[in-house]
């Protein structure tokens, strides 16, 4: 079933995120189709596209047309050119300085790319949508047909396979490519670190080519993840680049390619270990209000993804909500002017990336563990209330290309939400100790009873989550053992995955004494209920403090442990993907591991610090 595409404005209005535009604002530009009159042997210049000298514009509704020259589709944001002598459909961004060629799209069979468009037939030509079927010459004879659809006001072109097509080749040379990850950390591919000419990446619905020197992102979004992405690389040292990605078409699937264009659309700055705890002003200002993500490279080759704080006029900071859910829990400590933050995994630290109220970006690499080394990459992952309507972020493109329902499914919006039960042990300790120190236990008996119920619910909730991680680890180890028998050629990779998975059991064993057993926690609560509820003896406060200290010891250890378990699963998830880059044979197992890890990372507790 074909997905219905919506404009960004319509999506946001429907979601209630924006007021309905006025009549003037609703006058959207149209999509135009041109016949250049003569075929160009070279890519069109910005002047040629802007002037359109000798071009003929096709009237709306005219689908029966034989092109004398090259076919051109254009709206106010992007231009798609089909040159007969070109390597594929050439995708231009309508930048402030004029049209700029950003990508070339060509159909592929399993191993061969098209030689160029042989003919273009108009499938639809209306004010709301224009589509053409481009037939490409294939090596060895035959042709591949792809439908290209362009809508008014959008920054993406939708491609659908019609005949003889298996993949879409996206040529957009870049050093850095990103697979955004909403459950863990992004996969950032640095061409300078990949010695191979071809590699595979998990086919997880989207891929970004970070093009130019920060002024453009070429983003591909596809509807299904049946196969992996292939990337090809060339060059040496500083000139080494990812030349192209090859994105598989699923049955009845589509691949949309978007251009996020403008100065400062992304930024990269190399960081060394010597920069730890040093405030680094970036040579970059946020070009628009958005939720900006920083991907830090660590010395072990992994990526650590953080959303940048945004400074308010009063000097405090906020972190934008994540898919409608506030990231605040208890005291929103990152709001303070000194950016101090506490998590169970990192303890107390200064939040390492932020945007000041004048838009300037800053980094402060963590002092502990002090392992950031390599490029730190910044890009706009989501919109905020102040994001201009005409501006697109990564998530906007995913919503616009997939539609609201499929987008929420792909991003697993429900699984992103944190779960909480009861009240944290430290808060219960403070409440109960205050009541008993003030000798108010008799008149506040109901509050005491509720606090006991809440603290037990909290401990049991975190413990259930820990047990879930343990079960995940043991099932994953059993799966890896099976794969060792079935795929002995992958023994080194499988052994590494086993070692990473065993980190869960190792963390649990280390804290087993401190977290005690679920029965012990229940016994503590019952001891308090039977011996202290309503008790007004002189030693009541001391006895209360002794038991509440036991609550906190259990709770603190569990909080630390659940955070450590999450980190272990995130590392396993990322390492599995990176293994595919150097050895495509690992892909089936790596994809299964990533599927299992995503299921485990769903519905985290706040104490896992899922977003730092």
- 322-344 per-position pLDDT tens digit: 766 566 544 455 566 788 888 88
Whole-angstrom Cα distance, residue 260 to residue 234? 24
**pLDDT level of residue 216 (50, 70, 90 thresholds):** very high
Mean pLDDT of the chain: 89
Closest-CA residue to 603 (of 383, 345, 407, 323):
323
pLDDT of amino acid 327: 60
CATH 2.70.98 domain residues, the chain: 8-261
pLDDT of 252 > 70? The answer is: yes
pLDDT greater than 70 at residue 466: yes
Q: CB-based contacts of 341: which residues, under 8 Å, 6+ apart?
A: 333, 334, 348, 349, 350, 351, 612
CATH class of the domain comprising 8-261: mainly beta
In 3D space, the residue among 448, 441, 444 whose CA is nearest the CA of residue 536 turns out to be 441
Whole-number percent of the chain with pLDDT over 90:
72
Q: Which of 153-167, 239-253, 315-329, 385-399 is least confident?
A: 315-329
Per-residue pLDDT reduced to its tens digit, 538-557: 999 999 999 999 999 999 99
> Which of the four pLDDT bands, split at 50, 70 and 90, describes residue 474?
very high
Region 426-440: mean pLDDT is: 96
Higher pLDDT, 25 or 248: 248
Q: Between 288 and 345, name the one with better pLDDT.
A: 288
Residue-wise pLDDT for 72-94, tens only, equals 999 999 999 999 999 999 999 99
> Sorting pLDDT into bands at 50, 70 and 90, what band is 55?
very high
Which residue, 287, 206, 288, is CA-closest to 245?
206
pLDDT at site 409: 66
pLDDT of res. 414: 66
* pTM of the full structure: 0.89
Contact 121, 132 (CB under 8 A): yes
Q: What's residue 542's pLDDT?
A: 97
Question: H helices of 1-144, where?
Answer: 8-14, 46-51
Q: Give the helix/strand (H/E) hosting 34.
A: strand 32-35
């Amino acid at each position: 079933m074909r997905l219905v595409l919506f404009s960004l404005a319509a999506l946001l209005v429907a979601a209630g995120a924006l007021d309905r535009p006025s009549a003037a604002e609703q006058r959207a530009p149209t999509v135009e189709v041109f016949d250049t009159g003569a075929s160009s042997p070279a890519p069109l210049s910005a002047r040629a596209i802007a002037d359109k000298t000798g071009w003929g514009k096709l009237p709306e509704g005219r689908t029966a047309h034989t092109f004398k020259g090259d076919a051109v589709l254009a709206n106010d944001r992007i231009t798609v050119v089909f040159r007969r002598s070109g390597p594929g459909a050439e995708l231009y961004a309508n930048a402030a300085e004029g049209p700029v060629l950003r990508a070339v799209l060509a159909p592929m069979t399993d191993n061969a790319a098209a030689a160029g468009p042989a003919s273009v037939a108009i499938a639809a030509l209306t004010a709301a949508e224009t589509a053409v079927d481009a037939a490409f010459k294939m090596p060895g004879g035959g042709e591949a047909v792809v439908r290209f659809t362009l809508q008014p006001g959008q920054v993406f072109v939708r491609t659908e396979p019609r005949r003889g097509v298996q993949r879409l080749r996206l040529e957009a040379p870049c050093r850095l490519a990103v697979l955004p990850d909403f459950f863990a950390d992004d996969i950032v591919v640095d061409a300078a670190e990949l010695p191979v000419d071809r590699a595979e990446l998990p086919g997880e619905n989207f891929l970004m080519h970070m093009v130019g020197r920060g002024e453009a992102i070429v983003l591909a979004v596809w509807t299904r993840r049946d196969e992996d992405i292939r990337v090809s690389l060339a060059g040496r040292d500083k000139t080494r680049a990812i030349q192209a990605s090859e994105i598989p078409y699923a049955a009845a699937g589509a691949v949309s390619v978007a251009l996020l264009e403008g100065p400062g659309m992304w930024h990269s700055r190399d960081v060394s270990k010597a920069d730890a705890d040093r405030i680094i002003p970036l040579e970059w200002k946020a070009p628009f209000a958005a939720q900006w993500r920083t991907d830090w490279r660590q010395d072990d080759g992994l990526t650590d993804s953080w959303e940048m704080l945004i400074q308010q006029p009063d000097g405090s900071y906020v972190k934008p909500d994540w898919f409608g859910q506030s990231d605040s829990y208890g005291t929103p400590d990152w709001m303070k002017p000194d950016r101090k933050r506490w998590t169970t995994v990192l303890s107390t630290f200064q939040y390492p990336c932020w945007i000041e109220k004048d838009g300037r970006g800053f980094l402060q690499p963590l002092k502990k563990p002090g392992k950031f080394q390599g490029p730190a990459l910044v890009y706009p992952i989501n919109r905020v209330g102040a994001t201009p309507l005409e501006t697109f972020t990564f998530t906007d493109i995913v919503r616009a290309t997939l539609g609201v329902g499929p987008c929420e499914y792909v991003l697993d919006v429900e699984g992103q939400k944190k779960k909480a039960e009861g009240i944290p042990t430290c808060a219960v300790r403070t409440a109960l100790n205050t009541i008993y120190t003030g000798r108010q236990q008799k008149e506040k008996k109901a509050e005491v009873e509720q606090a006991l119920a809440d603290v037990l619910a909290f401990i049991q909730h975190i413990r259930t989550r820990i047990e879930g991680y343990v079960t995940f680890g043991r099932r994953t180890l059993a799966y890896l053992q099976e794969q060792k028998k079935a795929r002995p050629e992958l023994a080194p990779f499988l052994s590494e995955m086993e070692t990473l998975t065993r980190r869960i059991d190792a963390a649990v064993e280390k804290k087993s004494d401190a977290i005690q057993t679920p029965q012990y926690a229940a016994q503590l609560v019952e001891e308090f209920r039977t011996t202290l509820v309503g008790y007004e003896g002189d030693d009541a406060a001391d006895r209360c403090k002794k038991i509440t200290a036991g609550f906190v010891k259990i709770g603190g250890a569990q909080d630390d442990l659940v955070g450590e378990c999450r980190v272990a699963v995130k590392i396993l998830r990322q390492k599995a993907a990176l293994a595919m880059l150097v050895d495509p044979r690992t892909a089936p197992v790596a994809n299964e591991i990533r599927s299992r890890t995503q299921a485990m990372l769903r519905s985290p507790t706040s104490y896992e610090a899922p977003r730092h």
